[in-house]
Amino acid sequence: MCKVCGCGQGEVRIEGQHHEHSHDGHTYNGHGRHGYEEHHHTHDHNHDHDHSHSHDYGANLAGAAVPGMSQTRLIQLEQDILAKNNSYAAANRSHFTDHGILALNLVSSPGSGKTSLLCKTIEALRDKQQSFVIEGDQQTSADAERIRATGAPAIQINTGKGCHLDAHMVGHAVEHLSPADGSVLFIENVGNLVCPAGFDLGEAYKVVILSVTEGEDKPLKYPDMFAASGLVLINKVDLVPHLDFDMTATIANVRKVNPAVKILQLSARSGEGMEGWLAWIEAAQAMALAGHPLHTAAQTNAG
């Protein structure tokens, strides 16, 4: 188990999935959609090591056997450790592109108000936009139930001991949820500002939510997450009058880590600033649909 946060695999459960996947052996066979090409270079060298190996190595691949020479080889791999995850993420991304789906990966610490914000967002979008939700939590399907109460289809992934969603889990969840063409898919990651930063899920953007009760220094304490995000939402701004929260310092800290990122201030509870976030989603959705047949069809109909 992860020394830092308890990462582990083998306990992942996706709601409504009858065949439980064992993530121990990592035998991801039979998922045609996850097909990808391995990219690696293998250079085989026959090293003349001085180990006194007494094994009989027999012949090597080319059939050449040199008595007394070890068959230890050097393979220059130069492969990203997360290559597997990244290939699943690429498959997810191309699925989203093909279907004109805007996928947003929502990340934050626990208790930042992600789920409440999501419920309010779905309600506000309802007339214009179909929303789908993948909920990631270590345990319980409470959040998926809260989302479903808004009328949006949602599926819960319980990561068990895992501290983040990975692209493989999301790929399966997408299969089960089948978000409609041209919809918005919100992926609510496990509440954790550390691990989800490193795992690409195939989303268009990571959106990090920071609530004003968490203090100004979060962006500096967890720089990887803020650096990886395309949008920062500062939530619960209705509480600012009751706190010693320095908004200017918070924004400056975000900028130190990610000078180009967009920062929006809002309150899911009071509704303040929500229009900026909704406008951002609309713009991002337009980007996802640019050049897509759905968009072209809509323009033709309008014209």
Partner 1 sequence: MHEMALCESILETLREQARLGDFTRVERVCLEIGQLAGVEIEALRFGFDVVMRGSLAENARLDIVECPAEAWCIQCSTTVPIKERFDACGLCGSHQLQITRGTELRIKELEVN
Give the footprint of partner 1 on this chain (CB under 8 A): 1-5, 7-9, 26, 38, 40, 42, 44, 57, 61, 70-85, 162-164, 166, 194-195, 197-199, 219-220, 223-224, 227, 253, 255-257, 259
Whether 261 contacts 229, CB under 8 Å? yes
Question: Cβ 103 to partner 1, closest distance in Å?
Answer: 21
Question: Cβ 14 to partner 1, closest distance in Å?
Answer: 18
Helices (H), 99-209: 114-125, 142-148, 167-177
Q: Which is nearer to partner 1, 187 or 197 (CB)?
A: 197
How far apart CA 284 and CA 294 sit, in angstroms, is 15
Question: Cβ 193 to partner 1, closest distance in Å?
Answer: 10
Q: Which is nearer to partner 1, 28 or 282 (CB)?
A: 28
Q: Which is nearer to partner 1, 82 or 240 (CB)?
A: 82
Q: Which is nearer to partner 1, 69 or 239 (CB)?
A: 69
Q: Which is nearer to partner 1, 64 or 81 (CB)?
A: 81
| Long-range CB pairs of 116-119, under 8 A, 24+ apart, other chains included | 116/268, 116/269, 117/209, 117/233, 117/235, 117/266, 117/268, 118/147, 118/186, 118/188, 119/146, 119/147, 119/149, 119/150, 119/268
Question: Cβ 111 to partner 1, closest distance in Å?
Answer: 20
Q: Which is nearer to partner 1, 195 or 281 (CB)?
A: 195
Tallying the residues shown for the chain, one arrives at: 303
How far apart CA 139 and CA 106 sit, in angstroms, is 18
Whether 16 contacts 30, CB under 8 Å? no
Question: Cβ 175 to partner 1, closest distance in Å?
Answer: 21
Cα separations in angstroms, 80 against 37, 93, 167: 14, 18, 15
How far apart CA 42 and CA 28 sit, in angstroms, is 23
